[in-house]
Amino acid sequence: MALLSYTITLGAAAAPPFDTELHAAFVRIENGDGNALVKYGGSTLSAADYAGSVPADTATISNAVTLGPFPAAIISVHRLYFLGAAGQKVHLTVITQ
């Protein structure tokens, strides 16, 4: 089991965070810059087709979404796609098994 953290910089189009496989039992997605809504989903992610979203932060509240925990490492983090403002940061906390 490992606790991992990543900061992802979003591009202009929906994209996964990495090219290598990463399976997790727990994922926390935090809207880092708070300047735009961040949407997440699968490979068909678009502004209208998404699994969930993380609202923009406020001055006092950091918004995040948690996926899991699951009894086995069943979340394929490398297959999660993110969409938001180009240049925006998304923070991921991942627990693997």
Q: What is the CATH number of the domain that holds 46?
A: 2.60.120
pLDDT tens digits for range 14-67: 999 888 888 899 999 998 766 789 999 999 999 999 999 999 877 667 788 999
What is the pLDDT confidence band of residue 72, given thresholds at 50, 70 and 90? confident
Cα 25–Cα 28–Cα 33 angle in degrees, nearest 5: 160
pTM: 0.87
Euclidean distance between CA atoms 18 and 69, whole angstroms: 21
Q: Structurally, how many domains does the chain consist of?
A: 1
Domain containing 78 equals: 2-96
